[in-house]
Structure 1
Amino acid sequence: MLHVEDLQVEAELVPLFNFTHNAEAETAVLRLLQELPPTAELVREKQRILQGFLASWSVLENFSYQKIQYQEVRKFLADVSSGRVALEVNHIKASVKLLLSEEARYQSRARYVQVIQFLHRLQQHYVHRLDLHVFPVGYRTQLLVLVRFLERFSLENNSQAIQEDQFSVARMVRFAQQLQAIKPEDLTAFWDAFHLFEAYWSVAKGMQTHAFVFPVFQEEGLCLKEFYHPLLKQPVTNSLVLGPTENVVVLTGPNMSGKSTLLKAVGVCVYLAHAGVGVPASRCELPYFQSILIAINLRDSLRDGYSHFMAEIQNLKLVLHAARGAGRTFAIFDELFRGTNVDDAMEITHATVRGLTGFRRSSFLVSTHLLALESQLPKESGISTYCIECVLRNGLPVFSYRLKQGWSSLKIGRLLFEKEGLHALLQPQ
């Protein structure tokens, strides 16, 4: 089960990895980040593909091409393959036509040269220079689709002839015959492989650009070292290390201390780890979770008639159904039950936290403003308390955004209320 709308994968995470040159490859990047492999081994397989790209970075670092050339080559090949453009492949007829018509000769030559230059660059600069053995066997089949398609044409000889101004009518006819032999399904397979190739390259470039690291899956515990939210320009890094018996984290801290951002950063790391890509941390070790559910910006639902509190109830119910299933569940609750009164919130938050400890194979992060909850938390193992450090200087809060163990009882609402002069403004004139 996946419930991660609050991470805004398409709007916030995809741009971190999107260095593509065309819309189809961009869509492939989106799929790579949105379609999470259903097992840990398949996640590792995806990692190995990206590791193959990174191992080939000396070849692929400057992968590029002209977007307009790609668009025109793709359209021309599609028109030829579908029959919308008919090439004369009879040697005698084609030769006569091209020799007698300067316009036909010029148009055909321009199209063929564009196709040859695009495909030859892909072949000679990138595909032929790859060591296919650094990629897992499953992905090698996709690379071989590229290799074999490009080998159908005499690209090296034709490219050399073009450079020497020796691209004769006879060569044009032979190339037309090669183009005409392309089956629609072969062309579709080639472009699919090309777009996936560019998507993996783009994700690998994103990892290189942002210095993301591959996670390691393990049976128990959670280790995030120097993690951060990748959209912050000057992020403060934090670490969270949980032992095998610590499956519930209760996070406290005053408003504006950065609780939501920290929770979202943890969620981003867990999500990207399961997508098979690098994470914004110096080290990441975690179990494989079959369900990931993250609630940071829950809102009322006018369509379903839910109040904010009812939305929280339904979200918790969803998490519990997932946790009661066969696999592991990872869930984040930001300001749990803030949609109801304090007395109700205290009672049901206590019941929720205590109940979550019973799902030993799953992990839960819960932030709260209910400071009185500290004395009510069960003392048994399973619950870890963390807070985000904040101190008062000259009566004003100073935020460090640092995560530390313990409980924060700092209240700054009244201080900010007074600092902004609201008491005075509330006095009658």
Structure 2
Amino acid sequence: MVFKIDKQTIGDLKMVGGYKGDDVFSFYNRTKTRGGANLMRDMFLYPRSSEDEIMNRVNMIKFFKEKELTFSFKKEAFDVVEDYLKNIDERTRLSAHQDNLQRKFNSAIGADSGYQQLQKGVVNTLQFILDLKSFLNSLDGNGSTAEFGKTIGTINEILNKRNFSFVTELQKISKPNYTKTAEFDQLFRFTESKEDILKLLYYVYEIDVYLALAEISMLHNFSFAEIVNDEANLIEMKGVYHPLVPNAISNNIKITEDNNMVFLTGANMAGKSTFMKTFSIAIYLCHMGFPVPAEKIRFSIQNGMFTTINLADNLNMGFSHFYAEVARVKKVAESLRNNDRMIVVFDELFRGTNVKDAYDATVAVMDAFASKRKCTFVISTHIIEAGEALKKLRDNIMFVYLPTLMNGKVPKYTYQITEGITEDRHGMVIINNEKILDILKK
């Protein structure tokens, strides 16, 4: 089952598609092959909401982490093999009668580039299969998870087929003569063995991904989230932090159905947006089965998540920022009507309108959201007065803020959430520190 997300959420959290590798995918991507990187990218685009799928992935990563295995394949072979197998032009098919004096002469003077490319494809395919055989041999007696045991079984079924009988004698790869090259080319490109080789490539790309994730887990001491199966909804994070922020400060939070709405306040630059991204990224990674940047996470499986942190105007459709906010809230509301266990994150509701309308709309919408106790909400705002109104309306709202400590006129930020509603008013302090008014007076 797919964990529901959308383009806005992926962009807000920089899960995939950041510039210059500044996204979460690039942080996790230590794969050795292009196919492995593409497979991991797909995992980022399609998180899961099935316990079996999530735990199968967790167990696979843990297995490779515990065994401390390495990717022992010749990396350069993969792209060669894939390009070779894509060439299905019948005119390139090798046959025995082509092994004549003219071909041998062309080969001698380097004029037979077509054949040389095909021979290179054959050699690299053989090298890939030999490396796979060696990797399987390295697992003997090393144990495996039930899921990986199925993968090994499928790989062995393929390698034990009659078409792959040559594997038993495969010890060292050297350039085969023309006749053997033609035989292997026929087998690899023009029989059902081609589909089998593509399956083997996919399985090795999976291994590449799991080895990369095991390495990330060990390198950064990331943990694996624990799934809670109680009927009551729970999200509990201890020592969670943003993986892309240098020297990030960690936070703890526990959300249940009794406090399923988080009302977050704090001064500018106090870290509200970073906290919301930290929380959301952790939830996202939990539903991928990936190791998470936290000391410990326990969570109930959710059906999806919508974040609204960096919402842009839609000039093509004539939307102002406020109308874009309204349209986004409507989309979220429609999703909540049909789904429980959704996570909703908003950074400053209705910032695109006047203070009075923003106050009224914030109170009304948050009051309505709070009625959905099977869902989880994290909403930040600068309209702290809305908090006092909501306290009178609902008993399931958690009020937290990010403090600012003043050292004279210089603000210092703790980046750690504290219970309550902020009373910080430091906007003018920052403006004065930057001497903006002095500049304008000159």
Length-normalised TM-score, structure 1: 0.85
After the TM superposition, which residues 163-178 of structure 1 pair with which residues of structure 2 at under 5 Å, given as runs? none
Judging changes above 3 Å, is the alpha-carbon distance between structure 1 residues 120 and 406 closer, same or farther for their aligned structure 2 residues? same
In structure 2, what is the equivalent of residue 127 of structure 1?
A: 136
Q: Which residue of 1 aligns with 2:243?
A: 230
> Is the contact made by 1:247 and 1:362 (CA closer than 8 Å) also made in structure 2?
yes
Partners of 1:153 and 1:175 within 8 A in 2: no
- In structure 1, the residue matched to 2:155 is 146
| Per-residue deviation, 1:396 | 1.6
Q: Could you tell me which residue of structure 2 aligns to residue 8 of structure 1?
A: 14
Q: Which moved more, 1:174-183 or 1:332-341?
A: 174-183
Give how far 1:238 is off: 1.0
Write the deviation string for residues 184-241 of structure 1: whole angstroms up to 9, x where unpaired. Answer: 3323333333333323333333333333222122232221111111001211111112
Per mean C-alpha deviation after superposition, the further-off stretch among 173-182 and 225-234 is 173-182
Q: Contact conserved, 2:31 with 2:37, CA < 8 A, in 1?
A: yes
Aligned residues: percent identity? 23
Quote how far apart the aligned CAs of 1:317 are: 1.7
1:386 aligns with 2:400: yes
C-alpha distance in structure 1 between counterparts of 2:73 and 2:188, whole Å: 24
> Structure 2: how far apart are the matches of 1:72 and 1:161?
15
Deviation at 1:145, TM superposition (A): 4.1
Provide the C-alpha distance between the structure 1 equivalents of 2:173 and 2:263, rounded to a whole number of angstroms.
70
Q: How far, CA to CA, are the matches of 1:188 and 1:116 in structure 2?
A: 13
Q: Secondary structure at the match of 1:377?
A: helix
Q: Give the structure 2 partner of residue 86 of structure 1.
A: 93
Q: Give the counterpart of 2:29 among 11, 14, 18.
A: 18
**Contact map agreement 2:265 2:402 (CA 8 A) in 1:** yes
Select which of 197, 201, 223 maps to 1:213.
Answer: 223
Which residues in structure 2 correspond to 1:32-111 (within 5 Å)? 32-55=43-66, 57-59=67-69, 61-67=70-76, 69-79=77-87, 83=90, 85-88=92-95
Q: 1:405 to 1:78 in 2, by over 3 A?
A: same
Retained in 1: the 8 A contact 2:240–2:250?
A: yes
CA offsets, 1:228-281, max 9 Å, x none? 110012111111122441100011110011110110010100111112222211
- The Cα shift of 1:168 comes to 8.4
C-alpha distance in 2 between matches for 1:221 and 1:177: 57
Structure 2 length as normaliser, TM-score? Answer: 0.82
Question: Equivalents in 2 of 1:158, 1:426: separation in Å?
Answer: 79
SS of 2:438's partner is helix
Q: Give the superposition deviation at 1:371.
A: 2.3
Within 5 A, what are the aligned runs for 1:151-166? 151=160, 152-155=164-167, 157-160=169-172
Letter in 2 for 1:8: K
2:431 paired residue number: 417
Residue type of the alignment partner of 1:415: V
Retained in 2: the 8 A contact 1:390–1:400? Answer: yes
Q: Deviations over 1:7-52 (max 9, x none)?
A: 1221312112212233332211111121122433332233233333
What is the alpha-carbon distance in structure 1 between the residues aligned to residue 106 and residue 403 of structure 2? 75
Greater Cα shift, 278-287 or 110-119:
110-119
Q: Which runs of 5+ in 2 are unaligned?
A: 109-114
SS in 2 for 1:159: coil
**Segment drifting more, 214-223 vs 306-315:** 214-223
2:214 equivalent to 1:201: no
Does the aligned pair in 2 maintain the 1:222–1:242 contact within 8 Å? yes
Query: Which residue of the partner structure matches residue 255 of structure 1?
Result: 268
| Match of residue 359 from structure 1 | 372
Displacement of 1:112 after TM fit? 5.2
What corresponds to 1:292 in structure 2?
305
* Residue 296 (structure 1) shift: 0.5
Alpha-carbon RMSD across the aligned residues, in angstroms, is 3.2
SS in 1 for 2:316: coil
Inter-partner Cα distance in structure 2 for 1:293 and 1:221: 18
Matches within 5 A, 1:320-335: 320-335=333-348
Map of 2:111 onto structure 1: none
- The whole-number CA distance in structure 2 between the counterparts of 1:252 and 1:386 is 7
Aligned residues: 414
